[in-house]
Chains A and B, each alone.
Chain A
Amino acid sequence: MDFLLDASLFASTLRMVTPILLAALGGAICARVGLFNVGLEGLILIGAFSAIVGNHFTGNVLAAVLIAVLCSLLFSIIFGYMSIHLKANVIVVGIALNFLALGLTTFSLRAIFDVKGAYYNKDMVGLPKWDIPLLKDIPWLGDVLSGHSPLVYLSILLVIGLQYFLFKTVTGFRLLASGENPTAARSLGIKVSRIQYGAVLICGVLCGLAGAQLSLGNVTMFTEGMTSGRGFIALVATMLGQSNPIGVMASSMLFGFMDALSIRLQGFALPTHFTMMLPYIVTIIAMLFFKDKGYIQEARKSNESSR
């Protein structure tokens, strides 16, 4: 098994899982306030595209990431407005946003760069790779954990931060309360819709980061629909992790590991189709064991149906 499970496999797991993890954290926050965000896919796509646009026009990576965050934020405001303010069905709004994102990005790709399919420019700078000073000298661990983009490390910090925020701070409790029982929360004087907006905005920021990692971290290019289902996988990770930041991280890691493993297995005589199926099958099996408890009911409470 040595040749199969070496350090680079785990390193690529970490790299590939970051967009999913970031988006899944956003989804978890939304789920915690009773909004089931199906629009993650679209939000990531917007982030990925605007990161490239920012990079193209400013030539600065930091500015590119900020622009990505800003655009996803704008998009998530639409989601919030439609689902909180106008009380539209969240799932329908999410699906519509996915379409809008796909249409807008492919259209803007034509309008801004005048190309079809993919945009690549060798002058664009990707996210820097950080070597962690002490860590990188540790033999095996250094190869796995060191030399990733800052967003990879940020995502891990965010998991810890969000876990603390949700379960140890007053605002976090208010957030949980407004998802758990909006009516009771309202009667306590908690501004439920304001908290819901806050959650949606956090989700927008996280998805923007996810998109930036996707288009500037893993590769430095944008292709039409480059999220290719990652948003939905993030949704699955949210659910598997029961909207608990650490759980979400574990389930994203499981998926990312299976994904990396499936790419590795392609080197063997196995047909690629079956190795590509592996992450999805494992996820379905994992769903059998980790059934979600609370949040579906929560989603059902605040919206007539969650399915």
Chain B
Amino acid sequence: MDKLVQFGRSLMQPLLAVIVGLAAGAIAIVIVGGSVMETYAEMWKGAFGSFYFLTNTLSRATPIILIGLGVALAFRAGFFNMGSEGQMVLGALSAAVTAIYLPGSGLVKLIAAIIAGIIAGGIWSAFAGWLDARFRMNLLITTLLLNYIATLFAGYMVSYPLKDRTGSAAMAQTVMLDQSVWLPKLFKGMSLHAGFILAVVGAILLFLFMRYTVKGYEIRMLGGNPLFASYGGVQRGKMMLISMFVSGGFAGLAGSVEVLGTQYRYLDGALTSPGYAWSGIMATLLAGSHPLGTAVAAILLAALQTGGMGMERNTEVPLEVSSIIQAVLILFVSAKFTYSFIKRKKARS
């Protein structure tokens, strides 16, 4: 019973934030002169209204979940990894290159491409971790800077050496991947692909890992109290490299499944402009770095985004209402510490 109450209380905060977020969105809708109920109904329809829209939302959620998981792991270890964007882009590029140039059967290429994506993202992320562990360069800053370098590098690769010269379109993109390496779709005619299953399995595995393994405990300890962790014999530098590698690996995987399951090629800007990386970070913040919660929050954010698109198609209300809702959501969840703070104050008096 106690556990149930505790669980309910932990749900209260996000729920409250959702309500406040929707209220803020309602104000915005009223300002542009739309009808609140009608607009939200359109939004709901755009996100979950039919099986097609539902799968659409879930396929948009796929990279967000994976990135969120990676960021959650890093957050739990006490590292602010802001470099998911660069890690994702490099992962996507490596996956595309592997799938195009590696000889072998479709399945071998597919698995190799996914692994290549994970390794590329992981190494890029671990590089930032290494800079911090070895030279004490602030991780938050280096990961941000490495984002720009990674996206520009990937942009160069697909504009010059790897550019698709077969088609007439002058887009900066690689050639189309062979159909044999495509990630299978889960339902015929729907955009949802097998990457979603990878994301869900990843969330469950990460949850179990953090909860029940020694390494997971060490990571949580490092994030919770670095001094205690170092007394306990946890080596910060080594843990940093490992957790940053895994964190970046998740981001790389996100890029790979996007390339192998949705785009079927690396197209410059296709991963950065929808803001998957920042959405992933938002999902993590919303869920307080809980792996399963991150997955749920990612689906919620994806629903807000696809719902916003549906809303824009059918009403006069602009898409940006959904980004306002998202931002207010985060802002209110970040005040989580508040409530415990108020409680502490009350207890003292």
Nearest CB on B from A182, distance (A): 16
A interface: dominant SS: helix
**B28 A86 Cβ-Cβ under 8 A:** no
Interface contact A96-B334, CB-CB below 8 Å: yes
Q: With a CB–CB cut-off of 8 A, which chain A residues contact B278?
A: 99
CB interface residues, B 103-152, toward A, < 8 Å: 131-132, 135-142, 144-146, 148-149, 152
> Does the CB pair B138–A307 fall under 8 Å?
yes
- Main SS at interface, chain B: helix
Q: Cβ of A95 and Cβ of B330 under 8 Å apart?
A: yes
B282 near A107: Cβ-Cβ < 8 Å: no
Count residues of A near B (Cβ-Cβ below 8 Å).
45
Please provide the chain A residues from 287 to 307 with a CB less than 8 Å away from any CB of chain B in the complex: 287-288, 291-292, 296, 305-307
1/0 per residue, CB under 8 A from B, across A221-262: the answer is 000000001001001100100000000000000000000000
Q: How far is the CB of A265 from chain B (nearest CB, A)?
A: 14
> A232, B334: Cβ atoms under 8 Å?
no
- Which residues from A are CB-within-8-Å of B140? 38, 91, 306-307
Chain B residue nearest to A109 in the complex (CB): B320
> Cβ of A291 and Cβ of B136 under 8 Å apart?
yes
Q: Does B264 contact A (CB under 8 A)?
A: no
Cα distance A283–B141 in the bound complex, in angstroms:
10
For the complex, what is the distance from the CA of A277 to the CA of B86, rounded to whole Å? 13
B326 within 8 A of A: yes
A160 CB–B CB distance under 8 Å: no
Complex-state Cα separation, A305 to B79, whole angstroms? 8
Are A107 and B323 interface neighbours, CB within 8 A? yes
B324 at the binding interface (Cβ < 8 Å): yes
B335 interfacial contact with A, CB 8 Å: yes
Q: What A residues does B28 contact at CB under 8 A? A: 107, 111
Q: Choose the segment among A137-145, A164-172, A268-276 that binds chain B (4+ C-beta atoms closer than 8 Å).
A: A268-276
Residues on the A chain within 8 Å of B281, using CB: 95
Which residue of the partner chain A has the closest CB to B172?
A273
- A110 & B330 in contact (Cβ 8 Å cutoff): no
- State the A residues within 8 Å of B (CB): 38, 78, 82, 86-89, 91-93, 95-97, 99-100, 102-104, 106-107, 110-111, 116, 229, 232, 235-236, 239, 271, 273-274, 276-277, 280-281, 283-284, 287-288, 291-292, 296, 305-307
| Chain A to chain B contacts (Cβ below 8 Å), 20 pairs | A78-B331, A82-B335, A86-B335, A86-B337, A86-B341, A88-B334, A89-B337, A95-B281, A96-B327, A96-B330, A99-B278, A99-B282, A99-B326, A100-B324, A106-B318, A110-B318, A111-B318, A306-B80, A307-B78, A307-B138
